[in-house]
A and B are shown apart, each in its own frame.
Chain A
Amino acid sequence: MTTIAPKILVIDDDPDFRTAVTAILASASYDVIAADNAAEGKNKILAERPNLILLDIMMDGLFDGFSLCHSVKTAKEFESVRTTPIIFLSAVKNIAGDRFGFKGEEQGMVGPDDYIDKPVASADLLARIDRLLKR
């Protein structure tokens, strides 16, 4: 019996970054889908039901990423995909927080399952994804 490759959704507005990260994910045999803004991201989450989400938080507005994460983890419309692990990708250090604490907490928002700074080291990214998918 063949196992279906896990599907990863990459939500990032930088097309070059998406290309590079897709190459990393494909090398580990993941199936990759992409969205270039939060709204499209929302639609694809519901339509494609990815196994994991990579979310850039420095798109149009800082809170686009934060609120998308919060929605997925709390809103009724995302109930069916609530447990999908989310990793924040950040090009601006410390903007979302780190292992020391999620900064959206002050606004009452629910944070991601992990953080990773851009540019990502391929081994590091793949290890974190693997860890979350095995949970």
Chain B
Amino acid sequence: MQDPLVLIIDDEESMRDSCSQILLKGRYRVETAPDGTTGIQKIRDLLPDAVIVDLKMPGISGFEVLKNLRLIDPLIMAIVVTGYATVESAVEAMKEGAYDFLPKPFTPEELRMILSRALEHRRLALEAEKLRREKKLLEDNVITMVSHQLRSPLVAIQQYFEVILSDIAGRVEDKPKEMIRRASERLTGLLNLINDWLDLARIDQGRLVGKLKPLDPGKMMRKLVEFMTPLAKEFEVTLEWSGPAGPNFEVLGDEETLEQVFTNLISNAIAYNKPQGRVRIGLREDPDFVIIEVQDTGIGISQEHLPFIFDQFFQVSRREGKKMKGSGLGLSIAKKIVEAHDGRIDVSSELGIGSTFTVRIPKVRREADPA
């Protein structure tokens, strides 16, 4: 570990010399600069641990140096010295980020003490920064690791089951085959649960919804409707889309998570539907929001259940015959994602008739819009 580097910025040669001598005795490395401009350049080039700067200098003042120092690295400690010590200049210097203020004349002891405190402060601040970074890295890694550690064995088991069920590993009797098939379904449920829990963990850390960028909601929904058509066919349900045909109004959104929301709403609308039922997906706008509706002719939700529909783990009993693989977390995740977009999600429903989920996402304010 090298000795700490201290940069002395003062227009008076005698000051630079005497400070240097004091510091060199105290096991510091020393650099000097005769004016603010050279001082700032040396800060950039050398990145010292501390700077001792005179407030009043011809050309660029000590205040200017402080301002620049903060922009270069706020963890470099600045000690301001001046022969014109006033309360105002002291306060001003502290506001500009100086660690402390040393009025001239000062003794070598005073200089060494102040510097020692400043460097201790810097050491602690650097340590805190390092711990913050490590914590973040750990959190990121834990999520990824947990995700991988939990999924890998399940995936391997599922893959073996898939091979057995495809008769690739040899003929399997009906009874054991059926049991393996059921076991596989339960594993799929577990995998979905893990995915959803990890989504929730990430969303709570603000890590699920990525940076919001301008996106065309119509384009996104058209893609999704196309993607979900095979599933609808499987359930004998028709998907209807009504929305703008061409490129249209924009919202600020994270495409991946919004897709997740609507995939969830549409697959629910399909799965909770009646045979030969319909799912109508519509997109329209009002002055402030883009409004996307997913309406189904399904079994509906009773008024007593309606307030809880977005709660975690809440599940209404399913349609006979077809098993969906949900975890009960889908709608609570959807709600959090929509809220992370500053949007709203609402539901209206009538038992036996159907449900309508309405998502509102704020539109991007354009320059031309009135304030």
Contacts and interface: CB of A to CB of B under 8 A. Distances in A.
Residue among B155, B160, B169 with the most chain A CB within 10 A? B155
B195 A14 contact: no
Given A94-B256, A100-B223, A23 B156 contact: no
A81 interface: no
Interface in B134-189: 144, 147-148, 151-152, 155-160, 162-163, 166, 168-169
B162 A121 contact: yes
Contacts of B147: 92
B162 A120 contact: yes
A91 interface: yes
Interface string B64-77: 00000000000000
7 A-B pairs with the lowest CB-CB distances in the bound complex, closest first:
A119-B158, A16-B156, A20-B159, A119-B159, A27-B168, A122-B166, A118-B155
Contact of A119 (B144, B148, B155, B227): B155
A43 B281 CA distance: 50
Contacts of A17: 155-156, 159
Contacts of B166: 24, 27, 122-123
B151 A16 contact: no
A134 interface: no
A91 B194 CA distance: 12
B236 interface: no
Given A17-B159, A23-B163, A23-B168, 16 more contacts: A16-B159, A17-B156, A20-B159, A24-B163, A24-B166, A27-B168, A91-B152, A92-B147, A92-B148, A93-B195, A100-B223, A100-B259, A118-B158, A120-B159, A122-B166, A123-B166
Contacts of B159: 16-17, 20-21, 118-120
Given A20-B163, A23-B163, A91-B151, A122 B168 contact: yes
Nearest to B259: A100
A36 B168 CA distance: 23
A55 interface: no
A58 B150 CA distance: 13
Contacts of B156: 14, 16-17, 20
A22 B166 CA distance: 14
Nearest to B160: A20
21 contacts: A14-B152, A16-B157, A20-B156, A20-B163, A21-B159, A23-B163, A23-B169, A24-B166, A27-B168, A62-B144, A91-B151, A91-B155, A92-B148, A100-B223, A100-B259, A118-B158, A118-B159, A119-B155, A119-B162, A122-B163, A122-B168
Nearest to B169: A23
Interface string B238-275: 00000000000000000110010000000000000000
A94 B169 CA distance: 30
B44 to A, nearest CB: 30
Contacts of A14: 152, 155-156
A126 to B, nearest CB: 10
Nearest to A92: B147
Contacts of A58: 148, 152
B162 A122 contact: yes
Contacts of B157: 16
Contacts of B155: 14, 17, 91, 118-119
A45 B148 CA distance: 26
Contacts of B158: 118-119
Nearest to A123: B166
Interface string A8-30: 00000010110111011001000
A57 to B, nearest CB: 11
Nearest to B223: A100
Contacts of B168: 23-24, 27, 122
Contact of B151 (A27, A92, A122): A92
Instruction: Give the residue among B156, B159, B160, B255 with the most A Cβ atoms within 10 A.
Output: B159
Contacts of B144: 62
Residue from the set A14, A19, A23 with the largest chain B CB neighbour count within 10 Å:
A23
